[in-house]
């Protein structure tokens, strides 16, 4: 599980270039970009308690609805 302290500093690597890039923890195994006005919707899996914060990984899940995210996330 991602600690609250880590969650406070993690940002969406795609959005943080232009805006805040806030992430929300979903299902204890996913970080979802929830930028307030215009979020990108990228979803980053957490594997073995380590967030996979690669834009390419977030791109794979961008069209998957939050309720359809697999738990646990598939291994890469």
What is the reported pLDDT for 23?
Answer: 92
pLDDT beyond 90 at 1: no
Give per-residue pLDDT as tens, 2-47: 888 998 999 999 998 888 888 999 999 999 998 656 678 899 999 9
Distance CA 57, CA 8 (A): 21
Helix residue ranges per DSSP H, the chain:
4-9, 55-60
Q: Is domain 4-66 given the CATH code 2.20.25 in the classification?
A: yes
């Amino acid at each position: 599980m991602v600690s609250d302290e880590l969650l406070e500093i993690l940002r969406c690597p795609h959005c943080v270039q232009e805006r805040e890039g806030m992430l929300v923890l979903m299902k204890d195994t996913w970080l979802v970009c929830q930028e307030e006005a215009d979020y990108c919707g990228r979803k980053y899996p957490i594997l073995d308690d380590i967030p996979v914060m690669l834009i390419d990984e977030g791109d794979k899940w961008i069209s998957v609805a939050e309720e359809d995210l697999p738990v646990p996330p598939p291994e890469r």
